[in-house]
Amino acid sequence: MQKPRKRKQAELHPRPQSRTKPARATICLNKPTSDPYPTHPRPTPEECRAVLDDLLVLHGFPQEFAKYRRQRPTSSDDETHGFPKPEPLDGDAQESVLDGLVKTVLSQNTTEVNSLRAFDSLKSAFPTWEDVLSAESKCIENAIRCGGLAPTKASCIKNILSCLLEKKGKLCLEYLRDLSVGEIKAELSQFKGIGPKTVACVLMFHLQQDDFPVDTHVFEIAKAIGWVPALADRNKTYLHLNKKIPNELKFDLNCLLYTHGKLCRRCTKRVGKQQRKESHESSCPLLNYCKNSESETS
């Protein structure tokens, strides 16, 4: 008997009968949402700032996110903390929103290196999104195969492009820059294969909005340090953290938690092939938060 596919791949699996999602969804991204854990007091704004400062001392600001940091509005303490300046550097050309959405789709269930290779290969094979839309699915699959799940991701990308052309008459998402966060969520979440994490990543990285994506690394750390209840799921963690974390801290804290989750054995159960730099317990500044979390639940 064939085994069912893993749940973590669900965002990428479009159904053939329709290119847009049905009205009902797990999270109504286009409507105001309440905190699913209103009696859970953490994280406090002070704790968010403390964790950000601790991780910044340990890692510095992650260079892979520096170009996105430079595109964001500046704040009063950027220079104090050594964050990248908002002025773009050479080679920092702003990506289109559609580029960002496809990059995020390709990043699902693979490494950063492989997803970037897949995107570069796709753009090399098909210079325009019109070329991608008119190409055979098998050709798209071959171009992005190095990123894994090629048939699923190719189908998702083709669906996005087909739906966008049908509704807007052109393959462009720049109109999202003029919409509210709620309207942006409504527009993006209508595409099959696009879930809450993908929408949040596009909001934060490519539209410079204050949102807090919850990937596996962020989710596991949030549970380990008691920022959400032990039985929390990832969708409710996303809703809770977006209510609790101050907007001005969301981008930097998210980038640092993601980076720390990749490197620290103590803060994540996932042990990949990447060499982890911070493998000793004494080097992890979040251990005190983990201990505090354990003492609260004991």
Catalytic one among 103, 153, 192, 197?
197
d(CA 87, CA 53): 23
Closest by alpha carbon to 123, among 105, 102, 109?
Answer: 102
CA distances from 60 to 54, 86, 208, 257 (A): 10, 17, 21, 12
Closest by alpha carbon to 50, among 246, 291, 295?
Answer: 246
CB 69, CB 61: distance < 8 Å: yes
Active site residue 197: yes
CA 155 to chain centre: 20
Number of other residues whose CB lies within 10 A of the CB of residue 23: 7
Radius of gyration of the chain (CA): 19
Q: Sign of torsion, CA 194 119 184 161?
A: negative
Identity of the amino acid at 205: F
Name the residues annotated as catalytic. 197
